Amino acid sequence: MAESNFIDYVKIMCRSGKGGAGSRHFYRAKYVPKGGPDGGDGGRGGHIILRGNKNMWTLLPLKYQRHVFAGNGQSGSGGRSFGKDGEDKIIEVPCGTVVFDAETGEFLCEVTDDGEEIKLLKGGKGGLGNWHFKSATNRTPRYAQPGEPAIEKTVILELKLLGDVGLVGFPNAGKSTLLSSISAARPKIADYPFTTMEPQLGIVSYRDNRSFVMADIPGIIEGASEGKGLGLRFLRHIERNAVLLFMVPADAADIKKEYEILLNELERFNPELMSKQKVLAISKSDMLDDELMAEIEKELPADVHHVFISSVSGLGIQTLKDMLWKAITDESNRIEPMPITHRRLDGHHRVREEDEFIFENPETPDPDEDELYDDEEFDGDWDDSWEDYDGSYDAE
């Protein structure tokens, strides 16, 4: 994966902006000795916002931008002048990005549509100036509110490809060959395992100018849910697929057993996958005659629709498309879809090199750090009357 630009898992640190402090200013003019409080409010801190972008297909930009910090709000000033709001930080992500808390593994939010914006971290509210606190009994409020603090959180972004059909199978089951034969996608095809090193998407043409999207992931082996092989890292991509297409080659020793192994790995990865529509395709069937097909058919699981196909000769390809289209347009998929229950990030679902990434937390100087909000350290001469004020304090 070192030479690939496809990044679907990244860990970043985000921090929203802190709110600006309210001002404790008092109005002063030559002939206005008792102008009264006029300190303005502090500005709002910047938000951290996620925005979906249909033109992005990878989280690669965030791989080299580990820290995302929004701007702080400015302090208020005299004349009821409000402080400037902090600059919002917008993170462009591909559609299908899911966000988890890096510390607890808890699901936070997901971005599925182009242009969709989600406020990941809210900026702190600005503090109120002292003019808010004046009253008939408190004509000289000597205090103002500080701004709300910033929110800092380390999050993990996972990209889950948006597709209608997900291909599931052992290495060299013919998944990439099928995708290349029925779509314009050109995945790498070779006669050794794990030829596919990253997910591939292809648009499959159907009757009457209709089409659907098929997603191919690297082959799954037994134990993938525990971290063996490459399948675990990419199993997340089929969580969004409406239909799962299981592919087992016709020359397999036990087709039913291989299908059950694949099914078990998916269930251990995320039990929610068991509720999806399933289709079983017996690939490389051009080497079989009708008698062998009949014998194999007797041993296939009865709870899943199956079809014999050959990507080279075209055997059963149209039948497969019909079965997939029927499953995609099934009533359970046409009604408002149920939201995906995203599994928590535990030890099996994390990418170790990202999870162990250590941030160097840069400390940004805070211009309001020495701001005073009470009158215990005030250097002017205050008492309960305006006449005793010496006019020496004009701080914001």
Is residue 361 helix, strand or coil?
coil
Q: Cα 57 to chain center, whole Å?
A: 13
Residue-wise pLDDT tens digits, 344-394: 776 666 777 777 777 775 655 554 444 434 433 333 333 333 333 333 334
Say how far apart CA 305 and CA 327 lie, in whole Å.
Answer: 10
For 238, how many CA atoms within 13 A lie in the half-sphere containing its CB? 37
Residue 72: the pLDDT is 95
Residue linked to tokens 């805070």 = 366
Residue linked to tokens 């090193």 = 197
Within 10 angstroms of residue 254's Cβ, the number of other Cβ atoms is 11
φ, ψ at 280 (rounded to 5°): -110, 125
- For helices 290-299 and 255-269, the axis angle rounded to 10 degrees is 40
Residue linked to tokens 């404790």 = 24
Residue 294: the pLDDT is 87
CA-wise closest residue to 278 among 247, 316, 310, 299: 247
Q: How far is CA 369 from CA 56, 84, 365, 377, in A?
A: 40, 17, 8, 15
Low-confidence ranges of the chain (pLDDT < 70): 1-4, 187-198, 219, 221-234, 332-341, 343, 346-349, 361-396
Say how far apart CA 161 and CA 110 lie, in whole Å.
Answer: 12
CA-wise closest residue to 219 among 164, 270, 163, 258: 258
Residue 272: the pLDDT is 80
Is residue 12 helix, strand or coil?
strand
Is residue 117 helix, strand or coil?
strand
Exposed/middle/buried for residue 262 (C-beta within 10 Å: 0-12, 13-18, 19+): buried
Residue 182: the pLDDT is 85
Q: How far is CA 140 from CA 101, 109, 194, 239, in A?
A: 46, 46, 75, 62
Q: What is the 3-state secondary structure (H, E, C) of 219-262?
A: CCCCCHHHCCCCHHHHHHHHHHCCEEEEEEECCCCCHHHHHHHH
Q: How far is CA 18 from CA 39, 47, 91, 151, 345, in A?
A: 19, 10, 19, 8, 29
φ, ψ at 213 (rounded to 5°): -105, 130
